[in-house]
Every structure is written in structure tokens, then in C-alpha cells.
A = this chain, B = another copy of it.
Amino acid sequence: MAKFDINILGCGSALPTIRHGASSQVLDIRDKLYMIDCGEGTQLRLRQHHIKFTRLNHIFISHLHGDHCFGLPGLISTLGMLGRLGDFTIHGPKELETYMTPILNLFCQHLPYKVILHTIDPQKRELIMEDHSIKVYSIPLKHRVPCCGYLVEEKPTSAHIIREMTDFYKIPVFRLDRIREGADFVTPEGKIIPNHLLTRPAEPAKKYAYCSDTLPLESVIEQVQGVDLLYHEATFGMTEKKRAKETCHSTAAQAADIANRAKVGQLMLGHYSARYEDITPLEQEAKRIFKNTIMANEGMCISLK
């Protein structure tokens, strides 16, 4: 089965602690890496978790708060020192340009590769990036600054050939591509072998959604409907509901309610406020509403099946 792993590099909120670092995740999908958010210290976490920098070509920034983007300059510099040559694209709200352009000018004059800043409108749901393996869409969120989440959809793979059957019917190799795409096979004697006898269906395409930082939003429910895994911020517990609203964050209960109504496969909570030395109360609060909830933690790797 094609690989679709989510590596948690940091899942704390603005005030970093010894327990949790600033936000960053790396998706390891088929043979490529994609990063979502890049807080201070992200490049060090990549090293600690032995994640190879070289397969990383795209970073998606949710919003321009320091705990989601202060790791970019260091990571970009390090990739240069490691001799990277291929283009590198950072996607994010337009303030990304205001932030990064002076830094690239001052620190990265001699970078051996090109940094492309792809600015997006975080208030629109749009296709942000597409390659051989995935499509990435923005998910408009509501925070104190322009902000969006990201929906990462695997592209459907083609059906699997059942080798025993194609050998049995002596099907020539040049016909296999069409059979993968759904064609039947006609033997030289004119007998039709239906496609379903020759192939096993492809695995359903996997979907992952990242929503941080945000107030709980009705509009998100529809956009993350049925995803295999939803990462939703839960900066606070329900006892801090007022504070969550004031600071444009969500509680664990609110995140679980969204997961429940969106019928997602699994919910992962993160972006914990520094006040929670123990996140068990957040977990319990969410699980009462949506049982299949897990708590993000640095170094964690979740494989979508």
C-alpha cells in the first residue's frame, strides 16, 4: 500500500515549552515529503527524527504567526548549505512575502536553489498544489490573522493487475496499462475476459486535513467530511471556552464536535496551550464526544491505512 505518514515535529502553541515545540508536521507520501507549518526549531526536529531533508519540496504555511513560520529562514539556509539545487516552494497567505522577501535578500543571496513564494488567498477554498501523488486544497479558517488549513488528498492509484490471471490468459505486456485503467481483455478466440477477473481494485485514496489555528467553524465540517485523519487545534479545554473565543482558538470539545459531525476516521488534537502540563483532560473531554481521538506528540508518526 502506498505510504501516507504524518510525522509530528511540533504541536505546542505560541509559548514554547520543554514539553511541546512550535507547530510543524511532515507528510511522507509515496516518495516525497511535504511540510505543514514550520515553527522555530523545525530543522533540528527533522534531524532528531532522522527525516531526510532532501525529499522535501513544498511547505504549506497556515498563517503568519511566529510559532508557525519562524523556522523557515533556518531551514532554507541549511538546505542551501547541504547543496540543494531543485526549486523549493513555500505556500501561504500573502504576508509570507512580506516576511520572507527581506530575509531572502539579506541572508540568502548565494543560495544554490530557487525559493518560490506561492502566496494564496486563505479565505478561498482553492487547489493550491498538485503533483503526481497528491492534491492540496486550502481550508479557510478564522483566526486573528489571515489563516487557512490544508486538505491533502491522495490521487487514486490505478487498479492492481492479478499476475496469475494475466499469465493464465497470456495477455501481452503492452495491454496491461489499459487493463489497469479498466479495459476487459478479448482472447484471440474472441472470448471476453471481464476486467474484474484480471484486477484487484485500487485502495481508496487517503485524505488528511490540518486545521490550525482557528475558531471552531461550521464551514470546516463540510470541507473535511470523511477524511481519514483530521488534525484540529485544541489550544484550550472547555473550562477556557471564553478565552478560546477571545483568542480565536478552539477547545478540545469543539474540535471533537467538528470531527463527529464531519464523520472523520480519526481526530488528532494538538496546538496545546503552555498552561496544560498534562493534556489528559483535553483528551478525555474530546473522547466523550468523538471516541477515536488521539493526542499529537513530538516524534509521533501516524500511518494512514
Contact = CB atoms under 8 A, between A and B. Distances in A.
Given A40-B71, A107-B64, A16 B95 contact: no
Nearest to A16: B44
A106 B146 CA distance: 13
Contact of A98 (B17, B21, B106): B106
A78 interface: yes
Interface in A72-106: 73-74, 77-78, 81-82, 95, 98-99, 102-103, 106
Residue of A40, A43, A99, A103 most packed against chain B (CB within 10 A): A40
B78 A70 contact: no
Interface string A54-79: 00000000001111001101100110
Contacts of A1: none
A251 B78 CA distance: 22
A15 B81 contact: yes
A192 interface: no
A47 interface: yes
Interface in A187-245: none
A20 to B, nearest CB: 11
How many copies the complex holds: the figure is 2
Given A15-B81, A81-B14, A107 B44 contact: no
Given A18-B47, A47-B16, A98-B106, A66 B70 contact: no
A48 interface: yes
Given A70-B74, A98-B102, A44 B47 contact: no
Given A40-B40, A48-B18, A103 B107 contact: no
A75 to B, nearest CB: 9
